[in-house]
Amino acid sequence: MDLSLSISKYIDHTNLKPYATYKDIEKLCEEAKEFSFYGICVNPFYVKFVSDILKKTDIKVISVVGFPLGENKLKTKLIEASTAVNDGANELDIVWNIGAFKSGDYSYVEEELKTIIYYTQNITHKIIVETAYLTEKEKEIAVNIVINSGAEFIKTSTGFAEEGAKLEDIKLFKKIAKDKIKIKAAGGIKDYKTAIEMIKAGASRIGTSHGVKIVENIER
């Protein structure tokens, strides 16, 4: 088995830096084509740009919504999400309302997600819960809210918090979800060893800006 190609298909090749340029994003796309990454994850501004570059490939175009804090009003998130889909996004990585969740307003958080998903059907939705801010009990609640929302994935992190994906969180999500949703591990995944550990623990997707380094390390 070609190990580099195998792990490439788990990777959402990512550049969400606030100073990313057209040239940087074009390079991201070329790397995705060279290494056969599953998808490209970019900020909404670049979705149409990326979609045009990748239109003759099977590489998925992924946009973030409510990034990176999740504190936008629902109407704002809906406009952002629907615009991204119209621009060519195949998948949305949605930052849920972290403040509302931490306040215990679980019904609002769930309804917000259901509404966004309802108005952007026929694509894949990943919900970013930002595990760095959650207690163990809240992580359990988070999994159930994401399941109830109808999303396909729960995602650990934006990469902007003090901590990203942790192996124990992937294991916990896998245990609670019982295959009702998939898991995307993101935040701080910079090498092959960490990536493969996440996959073995239950992650179906890896979000990283270090995809090339991960694959090249295998090849060496």
User: What is the pTM assigned to this prediction?
Assistant: 0.96
Domain boundaries, the chain: 3-219
Cα–Cα dist 49/6, whole Å: 27
Which tens digits make up the pLDDT trace of 131-165? 999 999 999 999 999 999 999 999 999 999 999 99
Calculate the average pLDDT of the chain.
Answer: 95
Report percent pLDDT > 70 for the chain: 96
Which residues carry out catalysis? Answer: 93, 155, 184
Mean pLDDT in consecutive groups of 10 residues from the start of the chain, 220 residues: 72 98 98 97 98 97 98 98 98 98 98 98 98 97 98 97 96 96 97 95 97 82
Query: What homologous superfamily is domain 3-219 in, according to CATH?
Result: Aldolase class I (3.20.20.70)
Which tens digits make up the pLDDT trace of 102-139? 999 999 999 999 999 999 999 999 999 999 999 999 99
pLDDT of residue 219: 53
